[in-house]
């Protein structure tokens, strides 16, 4: 029987533990997770790049919804566990869900420390812990007003840099004389302060907060010395505390954290704890590397695998602020029995300090030039006697043993077991081994196979050098990702060259752009076919053999080789005649399943390929055309009943939806396009998670775009408000045409928009009226050739061979 494993918390540590667990014993446990945050597992240490705008949330998701589905894991999002009954072995969430367990893992993480000053509860006072905090900060940053960050540590500085990047006027308050005093010595702290100030962030050290004041919301901060600093946003980033309340209430042994042994077991043998909430050997941890080590140990314990024990080790600290290179490791305090070697280069802003005890490295601080961090770390870990290279030690690895100063040589000289990725504990030989044995060619490959550089990314440079070292000339980091292995050109180059060189057939593209294969592959051919259809609507003859089967036979292939058929129902509106015709077709062809789709259509599933033309013929007689449910093209426009029926409707949303659908059906797009029109902001048609959506309001039509509700979930961006239905149609059409002309094949609107930037799309579609008109006109022109119902074409005999076997052999005469 499978045992029940319940996990409280869905952060990086339990996420990693599950990965190990699923690898070692995928079927042993039925897993249930309760996550107080209403979302999936994401890379919390990458929140700073999200805050600064260098990354989007989707890019830092570790396990998307699909992962939980694939592994049969039940995830309760937004459920905080409020009680653990160790007697009955159950946990209960704040929404009243009770789940029993055989094994329980507590991974409640930590809570930000709030300084107990007056005004700490005012609106506008935030902490920096999760995505909600980041979103609240981003909202506050829109005002471009003044922000104060309390805390000059790692988190505080990253928050400050992010808010500055977002246009705020930022002041950092730090209670100690120098920044990051726990990780940096005063000299490096000084350099860091200069670097931070150079970005326009004000830094005040020895600053003691007395009170936060404001009437109903934050207006400023008062310091002990009487200084007043105006601010509309205050971020407290002064430290974290392990979240132990639940464990304490359950009667488990707690100290600073939940006390566990070196196998992550709490005082109750059925309960384990790991992550920031756990205390092992008197230490609690906040950096990811030891937490991942805990995950390895816990997974081994859960699977009764190898007897792994957690051992304390120093973890390097790095700051994730682009342009500030900083590395700190181990113990760097002065002492009588200690020596130090220091290198300073004032003009270059470089400071390096290595602390020695008995000729062995015990601590390192690097600022401005951190490439040798991994090497120093390795020497420290192995307690290497450095007396031989003492004179040149500080210059780094490249200067040892007369080796050249080539940075590649430095990486080459690293020992095989030297740690490259501290977050994920990946050593050099694991990376080079994977590159060779799995034929990896790029950074993304290495990340996928080894996880090196997949967390905080600060070892990316080292990983790239390993790629260069292992692959030699074959590795070109600057190169764009090629479309496929048939070419070295990326999608954007191919699209540009098709236009520039006037290439109008697939063979022409392959010849002129020097394709490496004679007739392409299943990746590039459909892409090229789309680009040519889009760019030369009146001149290019669609190549059916380069289309995926669904588009070739206008139906969706199912797992058993049968097809599903979806007729178009304009705007999701139907009538008794249509329904009767569908019912008749279902009976006549004994269609085994009929299902209403998410896009307000009716899907008939399990139709044999041979029957497709006859099914279409019958549907066609009732006035149906193809619903294009199979197409990288316009799929559906969902609507609500709008002002016709709804007491809240502000406009005729049904009418507009039908109008858009009738205008745009048949068009091919880089990836599927789903739309919706809602009649009021209650948004019953769910327009705000569509590729393009319209939300009607009293004053007109709000145009939305770049939503997603599949593997990724993303609310739309607002393009703008227009007054009339005609304008709404023109904007929607122009937007889709811009997407058609620019996006890469299979790239949904939200991904394209992220790449191009919302501002640029607004500029071209909303602000530049002539451009919008030109896009609109090009779409209208291409529709002349696209709006042909493929079903009726097929019924009238086009490519009939497709649906019949060419011969039947080996059957007895009567059997046929």
Among positions 437, 805, 813, 814, the unique one binding other proteins when judged by CB under 8 A: 805
**CA of 491: how far to CAs of 488, 639, 744, in Å?**
10, 34, 6
**For other proteins, which is the closer residue by CB, 637 or 671?**
671
* Antiparallel, parallel or unpaired: β 125-127 and 233-236: parallel
Is 459 labelled as part of a ligand binding site? no
Torsion of CA 192, 194, 195, 199, to 10 degrees: 140
Of 592, 607, 737, nearest to 669 (Cα)?
737
Distance CA 140, CA 242 (A): 28
Asked if residue 769 binds other proteins (CB under 8 A), the reply is no
Sign of CA dihedral 470, 473, 474, 478: positive
340 phi and psi angles, rounded to 5 deg: -140, 150
Q: Is the CB of 544 or the CB of 781 nearer to other proteins?
A: 544
Reference 613, options 411, 423, 433, 793; nearest CA is 793
Work out how close the CB of 807 gets to other proteins at its nearest, in angstroms, rounded to a whole number: 4
733 membership: H or E segment, kind and range: helix 725-742
Rounded Cα gap, residues 444 and 135, in angstroms = 28
Structure tokens given for 754? 């992220």
Among 200, 216, 269, 810, binds other proteins (CB under 8 A): 810
Nearer to other proteins, 759 or 815 (CB): 815
Distance of CA 182 to the CA centre of its chain: 32
Q: Where are the alpha helices (DSSP H) in 303-427?
A: 373-381, 407-413
* Closest to other proteins by CB, 487 or 600: 487
Cα pseudo-dihedral 365, 368, 371, 374, rounded to 10:
20
| Contacts to other proteins from residues 621-680, by CB under 8 A | none
Q: Which of residues 555-614 bind other proteins (CB under 8 A)?
A: 557, 559, 561
Closest CA to 801 of 530, 545, 507, 506: 545
Q: Does residue number 526 form part of the binding site for other proteins (CB under 8 A)?
A: yes
* Helices 428-438 & 460-471 angle (0-180, nearest 10): 50
The answer to whether the annotation marks 684 as part of a ligand binding site is: yes
CA distance 211 to 202: 19
546 binds other proteins (CB under 8 A): yes
Over the window 81 to 120, marking each residue x when it contacts other proteins by CB under 8 A and - when it does not, the resulting string is: ----------------------------------------
Ramachandran bin of 800, using left for φ above 0, alpha for ψ from -120 to 50, beta for the remaining angles:
alpha
Cβ density class 157-185: b for 16+ within 10 Å, e for less: bbbbbbbbbbebbbbbbbbeebbbbebbb
Q: Nearer Cβ to other proteins, position 3 or 610?
A: 610
Residue 427 marked ligand-binding: no
* Of residues 647 and 801, the one with the C-beta less far from other proteins: 801
Q: Looking at beta carbons only, is 550 or 597 nearer to other proteins? A: 550
| Nearer to other proteins (CB atom), residue 547 or residue 659 | 547
Judged by CB under 8 A, does residue 517 bind other proteins? yes
Q: Does 545 bind other proteins (CB under 8 A)?
A: yes
Query: Which H or E run includes 769?
Result: helix 769-786
Interface with other proteins (CB under 8 A), residue from 63, 164, 525, 744: 525
Helix (H, G, I), strand (E, B) or coil at 279: strand
Under rule CB under 8 A, residue 346 binds other proteins:
no
According to CB under 8 A, which one of 1, 333, 478, 815 is a site residue for other proteins?
815
* Contact pick of 139, 383, 408, 519 for other proteins (by CB under 8 A): 519
The DSSP code for 118 is: T
Please name every residue paired with 169 in a beta bridge, in sequence order, or none if there are none. Answer: 146
Give yes or no for residue 782 binding other proteins (CB under 8 A): no
Task: Give whichever of 523 and 771 is closer to other proteins, judged by the CB atom.
Answer: 523
Alpha-carbon distances, residue 378 vs 145, 334, 465, 517 (angstroms): 45, 22, 17, 46
Nearer to other proteins, 347 or 808 (CB): 808
CB of 489 to other proteins, least distance (A): 17
Q: Note whether 801 binds other proteins by CB under 8 A.
A: yes
Q: Which stretch binds other proteins (CB under 8 A): 252-260, 284-292, 411-419, 542-550?
A: 542-550
Phi, psi of 153 (to 5 degrees): -95, -165
Which of 474, 500, 807, 814 touches other proteins (CB under 8 A)?
807
Contact with other proteins (CB under 8 A) among 348, 478, 809, 814: 809
Span of 169-177, 219-227, 552-560, 699-707 interacting with other proteins by CB under 8 A: 552-560
Q: DSSP 3-state assignment of 560?
A: coil
Any contact of residue 814 with other proteins (CB under 8 A)? no
Using CB under 8 A, pick the residue from 115, 229, 413, 521 that binds other proteins: 521
Interface residue with other proteins, options 213, 395, 399, 548 (CB under 8 A): 548
Gyration radius of the chain's alpha carbons: 31
Contact between 520 and other proteins by CB under 8 A: the answer reads yes
Is there binding between residue 347 and other proteins (CB under 8 A)? Answer: no
Contact segment (CB under 8 A) with other proteins among 3-11, 104-112, 307-315, 517-525 equals 517-525
By CB under 8 A, the count of residues binding other proteins is: 30
Tell me how far, at minimum, the Cβ of 799 lies from other proteins, in Å. Answer: 8
Do the beta carbons of residue 390 and residue 358 sit within 8 Å?
A: no
By CB under 8 A, which span of 25-33, 168-176, 222-230, 802-810 interacts with other proteins? 802-810
797 binds other proteins (CB under 8 A): no
Q: 696 a known binding residue?
A: no
Residue whose CB is less far from other proteins, 549 or 593:
549
Q: Are 632 and 546 in contact (CB under 8 A)?
A: no
**Does 549 engage in binding with other proteins (CB under 8 A)?**
yes
215 counts as binding other proteins under rule CB under 8 A:
no
CA distance linking residue 7 with residue 14, whole number of Å: 8
Q: Is 711 in the site for other proteins (CB under 8 A)?
A: no
Say how far apart CA 226 and CA 495 lie, in whole Å.
62
Contact 33, 79 (CB under 8 A): no
Number of other residues whose CB lies within 10 A of the CB of residue 194: 11
- Nearest CA to 321 out of 637, 48, 528, 78 is that of 48
Task: Return the range that interacts with other proteins (CB under 8 A); candidates 12-20, 290-298, 553-561, 788-796.
Answer: 553-561
Q: Please give the backbone phi and psi of residue 387, each rounded to the nearest 5 degrees, phi first.
A: -55, -35
Q: Does 811 bind other proteins (CB under 8 A)?
A: yes
Question: Where does 365-427 have alpha helices with state H?
Answer: 373-381, 407-413
Tell whether residue 482 is a contact of other proteins (CB under 8 A): no
- Give the nearer residue to other proteins in terms of CB position, either 547 or 751: 547
Binding site per annotation, positions: 640, 646, 680, 684
Write out the residues near other proteins by the rule CB under 8 A. Answer: 517-522, 525-526, 544-550, 552-553, 557, 559, 561, 799, 801, 805-811, 815
Binding site per annotation, positions for siroheme: 684
Binding site per annotation, positions for [4Fe-4S] cluster: 640, 646, 680, 684
């Amino acid at each position: 029987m499978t045992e029940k494993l319940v996990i409280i918390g869905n952060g990086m540590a339990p996420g990693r533990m599950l990965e190990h667990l699923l690898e070692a014993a995928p079927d042993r446990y039925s897993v249930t997770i309760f996550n107080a945050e209403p979302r999936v597992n994401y890379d919390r240490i990458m929140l700073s790049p999200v805050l600064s705008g260098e990354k989007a949330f989707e890019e830092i998701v570790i396990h998307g919804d699909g992962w939980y589905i694939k592994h049969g894991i039940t995830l309760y999002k937004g459920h905080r566990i409020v009680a653990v009954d160790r007697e009955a072995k159950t946990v209960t969430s704040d929404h009243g869900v009770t789940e029993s367990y055989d094994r329980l893992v507590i991974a409640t993480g930590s809570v930000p420390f709030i300084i107990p000053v007056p005004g700490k509860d005012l609106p506008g006072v935030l902490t920096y812990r999760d995505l909600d905090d980041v979103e609240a900060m981003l909202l506050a940053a829109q005002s471009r007003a003044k922000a104060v960050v309390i805390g000059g540590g790692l988190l505080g500085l990253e928050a400050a840099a992010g808010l500055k990047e977002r246009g705020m006027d930022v002041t950092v308050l730090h209670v100690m004389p120098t920044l990051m005093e726990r990780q940096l010595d005063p000299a490096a702290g000084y350099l860091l302060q200069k670097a931070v100030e150079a970005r326009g962030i004000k830094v005040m050290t020895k600053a003691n907060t007395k009170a936060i004041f404001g009437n109903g919301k934050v207006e400023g901060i008062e310091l002990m010395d009487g200084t007043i600093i105006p601010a509309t946003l205050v971020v407290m980033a002064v430290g974290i505390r392990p979240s132990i309340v639940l464990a304490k209430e359950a009667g488990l042994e707690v100290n600073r954290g939940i006390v566990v042994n070196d196998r992550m077991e709490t005082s109750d043998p059925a309960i384990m704890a790991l992550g920031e909430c756990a205390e092992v050997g008197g230490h609690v941890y906040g950096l990811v590397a030891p937490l991942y080590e805990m995950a390895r140990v816990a997974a081994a314990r859960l699977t009764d695998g190898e007897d792994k024990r957690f051992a304390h080790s120093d973890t390097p600290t790095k700051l994730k602020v682009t342009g500030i290179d900083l590395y700190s490791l181990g113990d760097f305090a002065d002492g009588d029995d200690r020596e130090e070697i220091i290198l300073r280069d004032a003009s270059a802003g470089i400071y390096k300090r290595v602390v020695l005890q008995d000729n062995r490295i015990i601590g390192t601080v690097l600022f401005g030039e951190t490439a040798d961090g991994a090497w120093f770390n390795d020497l420290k870990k192995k307690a290497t006697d450095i007396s031989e290279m003492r004179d040149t030690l500080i210059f780094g690895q490249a200067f040892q043993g007369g080796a050249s100063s080539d940075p590649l040589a430095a990486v080459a000289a690293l020992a095989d077991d030297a740690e490259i990725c501290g977050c994920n504990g990946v050593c050099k030989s694991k990376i080079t081994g994977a590159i060779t044995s799995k034929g990896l060619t790029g950074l993304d490959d290495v990340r996928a196979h080894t996880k090196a550089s997949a967390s905080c990314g600060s070892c990316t440079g080292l990983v790239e050098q390993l790629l260069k070292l292992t692959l030699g000339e074959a590795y070109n980091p600057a190169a764009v990702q090629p479309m496929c292995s048939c070419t070295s050109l990326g999608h954007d180059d191919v699209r540009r060259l098709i236009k520039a060189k006037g290439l109008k057939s697939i063979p022409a593209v392959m010849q002129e752009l020097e394709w490496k294969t004679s007739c392409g592959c299943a990746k590039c051919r459909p892409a090229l076919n789309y680009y040519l259809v889009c760019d030369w609507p009146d001149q290019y003859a669609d190549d059916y053999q380069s289309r995926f089967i669904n588009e070739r036979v206008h139906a969706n292939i199912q797992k058993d080789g049968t097809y599903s058929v979806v007729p178009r129902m304009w705007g999701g509106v139907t009538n008794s005649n249509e329904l009767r015709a569908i019912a008749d077709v279902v009976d006549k062809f004994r269609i085994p399943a009929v299902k209403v789709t998410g896009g307000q259509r009716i899907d008939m599933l399990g139709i044999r390929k041979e029957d497709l033309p006859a099914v279409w013929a019958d549907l066609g007689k009732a006035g149906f055309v193809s619903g294009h449910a199979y197409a990288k093209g316009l799929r559906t426009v969902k609507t609500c009943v709008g002002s016709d029926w709804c007491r809240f409707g502000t406009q005729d949303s049904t009418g507009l939806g039908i109008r858009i659908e009738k205008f745009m059906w048949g068009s091919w797009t880089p990836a599927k396009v789903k739309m919706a029109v809602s009649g009021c902001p209650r948004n019953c048609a769910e327009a705000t998670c569509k590729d393009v959506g319209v939300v009607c309001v009293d004053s007109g039509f709000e145009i939305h775009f770049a939503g997603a509700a599949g593997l990724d979930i993303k609310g739309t961006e607002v393009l703008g408000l227009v007054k009339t239905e005609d304008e709404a149609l023109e904007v929607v059409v122009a937007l889709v045409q811009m997407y058609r002309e620019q996006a890469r094949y299979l790239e949904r609107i939200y991904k394209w928009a992220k790449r191009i930037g919302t501002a640029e799309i607004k500029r071209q579609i909303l602000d530049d009226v002539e451009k919008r008109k030109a896009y609109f006109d090009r779409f209208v022109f291409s529709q002349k050739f696209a709006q042909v119902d493929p079903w009726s074409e097929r019924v009238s005999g086009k490519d009939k061979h497709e649906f019949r076997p060419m011969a039947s052999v080996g059957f007895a005469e009567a059997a046929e």
